[in-house]
Structure 1
């Protein structure tokens, strides 16, 4: 099929027509070119850069019949991922591409959409979002996450994933704080402790040395939320936090100032 007209292949696959007609417009024209060369050739032929997605999809569908298309399709996908600005921004924020979508604070309808589209990780979300047509309108938390990553908006990122503003990466304490609002909070907490096992181990080491459990949660800046997040994580600790004494009639201090007074 390497010498079959692309327009004929498109018709056989019941997909959209290939816009460039002619018997010489075949896969063999493209399969030996680099990603950049394919883009340039398509532009010379009056096509937009997005046309390469249709070409890659068309060749992918024919892989079962003719293997020479494989190298080009793979090269196209790798190059597209490398040039994906959302993936670049994830790296800039120190957020791993394989972080599970289910551990984000996205609203249930958005999580269900991601499930239907088989988007299990932030990286898959980024690739999917990059491939959407420009005229597709999305809303809700999907749009919020898309905008947050597009503009590297740390405040918005922190609303939908366990991100700590001013630092890189995702964190266990913030994951617990977001999990408390979920209907399946206990399940979310268990998954989070598995994902953040290194942070959990570091916390347990600190507690074993006499460290304050509450101090780990002061970054949340909300006394009520700190307590709820701490209570949610507590059953997963292999080292029990020491009880902190409170003088009779004195309310236990929490948050940043509470931590200062403990020093």
Structure 2
């Protein structure tokens, strides 16, 4: 008699999983690794223990594979692992809607944001994305991080104009903390969103001329190539860049009130604010972020004879 169900899964669901894994980049990844990422455990290890090994079989033949014979619960665990992996492998997947009621909301990304202590309502103007995403945000009237995530989740990959947004969603789906931190002020390992990281991302949006000029105002020793740029600073471009960046830093300050107060207190007592920027884990980002913080928060030394004094009356 043919086998059409394990009780939890049926043949049609297995065929769906097989089809989806045929083109998945994870089909050659060890099941033990996929299981761990999905919150399960797989009893077999080895390079040959991959989804590709199992998806070659139809549902009935799957029951005859060594290690699965007479092990209904193990077959179900295999399908649990592959189902969960698909949800993260393709953040735009309609898997949940295919296996469950179509009206049920897929909260995969919401759960991931919560897991990493990321504020769902973080304002989009403080995110770090390319011009295509910024245009999309304005066009669609998107105001918060979760709104942007939901928009991307409900849009087919081929219809998304920005590779930047695709990369962010894939990083989020795979819980890649480094990729996530490229676009939001997330602190890998520690979790959560932070003021220092927000300043660091804002600083990265500055033109190269503005970055170099800010560094010069902190007394930082400029590199040879930076000195060359500094000599050719475009005053108008620097002014526009710094005004925009400063406005964003002040908006971030209003969001991160407690951390902003901690940073400003460090400036006021002539402490060592650079220690707070060590969290950026990159020496270039640290010195640039510190320079922007000094300027935007009003702790830059009096440079009225310089360009900043000329532009901002300081």
Q: Using structure 1 for the length normalisation, give the TM-score.
A: 0.56
Q: CA deviation digits over 1:74-130, x for unaligned, max 9?
A: xx6xx62xx410111110111010001111111121111122112211111222233
Displacement of 1:188 in angstroms is 1.6
Work out which of the residue numbers 262, 283, 286 in structure 2 matches 1:223: 283
Work out which of the residue numbers 113, 136, 142 in structure 1 matches 2:136: 113
1:213 is aligned to 273
Q: CA deviation digits over 1:3-50, x for unaligned, max 9?
A: xxxxxxxxxxxxxxxxxxxxxxxxxxxxxxxxxxxxxxxxxxxx9579
Work out which of the residue numbers 188, 203, 209 in structure 2 matches 1:180: 203
**In the superposition, relative to structure 1, how do residues 241 and 199 fare at CA in structure 2: closer, same or farther (>3 Å)?**
farther
1-structure distance, mates of 2:275, 2:263 = 10
Structure 2 portions without partners, runs of 5+: 1-96, 206-240, 302-314
Alpha-carbon contact 1:207-1:241 (below 8 Å) kept = no
2:73 is aligned to none
2-structure distance, mates of 1:135, 1:229 = 36
Secondary structure of the residue aligned to 1:180 is: helix
**In the superposition, relative to structure 1, how do residues 136 and 112 fare at CA in structure 2: closer, same or farther (>3 Å)?**
closer
2:262 paired with 1:202 = yes
Secondary structure of the residue aligned to 1:212 is: coil
2:148 paired with 1:88 = no
**In the superposition, relative to structure 1, how do residues 209 and 187 fare at CA in structure 2: closer, same or farther (>3 Å)?**
closer
2:153 is aligned to 130
1:161 is aligned to 184
Alpha-carbon contact 1:90-1:96 (below 8 Å) kept = yes
**In the superposition, relative to structure 1, how do residues 197 and 236 fare at CA in structure 2: closer, same or farther (>3 Å)?**
farther
Displacement of 1:197 in angstroms is 1.4
**In the superposition, relative to structure 1, how do residues 134 and 176 fare at CA in structure 2: closer, same or farther (>3 Å)?**
closer
Alpha-carbon contact 1:84-1:127 (below 8 Å) kept = no
1-structure distance, mates of 2:202, 2:194 = 12
CA RMSD of aligned residues (A): 2.9
Q: CA deviation digits over 1:204-228, x for unaligned, max 9?
A: 3445566311111122233333222
Q: CA deviation digits over 1:146-187, x for unaligned, max 9?
A: 111111110100111111111111111111111112243222
Displacement of 1:132 in angstroms is 2.7
1-structure distance, mates of 2:162, 2:300 = 43
Q: Using structure 2 for the length normalisation, give the TM-score.
A: 0.47
1:170 is aligned to 193
Alpha-carbon contact 1:177-1:229 (below 8 Å) kept = yes
1-structure distance, mates of 2:137, 2:101 = 25
